[in-house]
A and B are shown apart, each in its own frame.
Chain A
């Protein structure tokens, strides 16, 4: 891997972010709207149900950490899609940049976007609802790492599908994201889901990550066992997603799909 080429990928996406105001929506507008939505739901529950003061922190912590997952996913999936939207894929494919270097470049740049997003979320949760996630302490770090791994893995899957099926598959970037949000028990335990779906939800490594978050918020110690199972699942998902994306990339090259974007 060449650090120069990885840096060039990051530079390319930094300029895209700087020049395109709508790209800032993913970092600022949508996260703030989510904070307002879920924070107000929490405030309403607290008002309606005396004794449920914890609703707001649970909902806000859930949405803040879910944005970790979303930013990790979007950074890679939208990063690759940027090249399809601007018909730049062939330009990139005919340079020495490898697929791995490209993905590493956009994932690293995604960490910068994640940091900006977290800053926005922290300011918004404190300003609007007086909730500061950093008060939870270092326990959120391993949970965030798990969500990062899962976000990157989902992005690899989606990128593979977009390369294979073309731009009509782009909708999966947002579709899978919201599906994972519904199934992972981001705000409430997964056993609140309809009975038939609970089994599916329990298999997801993200479900265990959010369960660990709720445990910590509930004043319990970090459940390392739950996190360990989630880590194993996350790594399996990550490895499977890379294999899946590599397979679809080989089909992309074999069937000459690059000409869709030239």
Chain B
């Protein structure tokens, strides 16, 4: 079956630093993949290249069968993006923001779709609030609603539960698993919460110094580093990366 993400030999340099180094990432339909790595490992750079917001120096990207950058618009019609750090546009009420983004996704008559989504995610009480008045958790929930209005084949989530309390983070995870279960949406998630990744993802790809350091199920990755769990494997990879003069917090990498 056609892959939803097919990135081959992706490379990105910022000045003299290589943020992403010859990275291959193939993700099939309905997969739930965690993209992990130490700070500065190249996760966000990789995601932004996959979304067409940053141009790679080398390599090819296909999203939902559409090659970037030439078919970026068509490809992004099948993709939703949520980032815990991104605000919703100010001056817009939640329902207005959803209406506008539905338009951006080319939905001709969005009213019913929006009302259904508002009800489904239980955010009816937020619908007439100004976006800037939302808490972090509410904002993330609304962002997920915004990014799934067009029933994307791929949902890309960059640290979706960062700065959320455990209760709200749990609701966000439940919402994501519901979306995956109902629509078979492929999930590509970055997170520093290893327990979350183990709950949410059936496959993890750990990158360090811009290259793939491990790829498999959470249990397989833990076993490959002779550790008991994903967090220990992650710490082992981070330690090795540091020992090799790794990319942690290096100024050329995107955080």
A8-B100, A9-B104, A87-B87 known; 20 other A-B pairs, CB under 8 Å? A4-B106, A4-B108, A9-B103, A12-B89, A15-B92, A19-B91, A19-B92, A88-B87, A88-B88, A90-B48, A90-B83, A91-B81, A94-B76, A94-B156, A96-B73, A96-B106, A253-B53, A256-B14, A256-B48, A258-B53
Verify A94–B14 contact, CB threshold 8 A: no
B105, A96: Cβ atoms closer than 8 Å: yes
- Chain A residue total in the interface (Cβ 8 A): 33
Interface membership of B107, Cβ < 8 A: yes
Q: How large is the interface on B (under 10, 10 to 19, 20 to 34, 35 or more residues)?
A: 35 or more
Separation in Å of the A64 CB from the closest CB of chain B?
30
Bound form: Cα–Cα A174–B51 in Å: 33
- Check A95 against B105 for contact (C-beta < 8 Å): yes
Residues of B near A83 (CB, < 8 A) are 89
Which of A1-47 touch B at CB < 8 Å? 2, 4-5, 7-9, 11-12, 15-16, 19-20
The 24 sampled A-B contact pairs (Cβ below 8 Å) are A8-B102, A15-B92, A15-B96, A15-B100, A19-B91, A86-B90, A87-B86, A90-B53, A90-B81, A91-B81, A94-B51, A94-B52, A94-B76, A94-B156, A95-B76, A98-B73, A250-B55, A253-B52, A254-B55, A256-B14, A256-B45, A256-B54, A258-B48, A259-B254
Give the residue of A4, A7, A86, A87 whose beta carbon is less than 8 angstroms from that of B91.
A86
CB neighbours of A7 from chain B (8 A)? 103
**Residues of the A chain whose Cβ atoms lie less than 8 Å from the Cβ of B92:** 12, 15, 19
Whether B81 contacts A94 by the Cβ 8 Å rule is yes
Check B99 for interface membership: any CB of A closer than 8 A.
yes
Contact between A262 and B86 (Cβ–Cβ < 8 Å)? yes
Q: DSSP class of A's interface residues: helix, strand, loop or mixed? A: helix
Chain A min CB distance to B128 (Å): 13
In angstroms, Cα B87 to Cα A262, docked, is 8
Contacts of B254 in A (CB 8 A): 256, 259
Asked whether any CB of chain B lies closer than 8 Å to the CB of A92, the reply is yes
**Which parts of B181-203 form the interface with A (CB within 8 Å)?**
none
CB closest chain-A residue, reference B50: A94
Residue of chain A at shortest CB distance from B81: A94
A93–B73 touching, CB < 8 Å? no
How far does the alpha carbon of A258 sit from the alpha carbon of B44 in the complex, in Å? 12
Residue among A83, A95, A96, A250 with most chain B CB within 10 A: A95
Query: In the complex the two chains form, what is the Cα distance from A83 to B103 in whole Å?
Result: 16
Contact (A258, B54) CB under 8 Å given A15-B92, A86-B89, A94-B81: yes
Which residues of A have CB within 8 Å of B74?
96
Residues of B within 8 A of A87 (CB): 86-87
Chain A residue contacts of B108, Cβ below 8 A = 4
Q: Please give, as numbers and ranges, the residues of chain A lying within 8 Å of B45 by CB-CB distance.
A: 256
C-alpha spacing A4/B101, complex, angstroms: 11
- Nearest first, the 3 closest Cβ-Cβ pairs linking A and B are A8-B103, A94-B81, A95-B104
Instruction: For A5, list chain B residues within 8 Å (CB).
Output: 103-104, 106
Within 8 A of A (CB), among B11-60: 12, 14, 44-45, 48, 51-55, 57
Assess whether A97 is interfacial by the CB under 8 Å rule: yes
Chain B residues within 8 Å of A94, by CB: 51-53, 76, 79, 81, 156
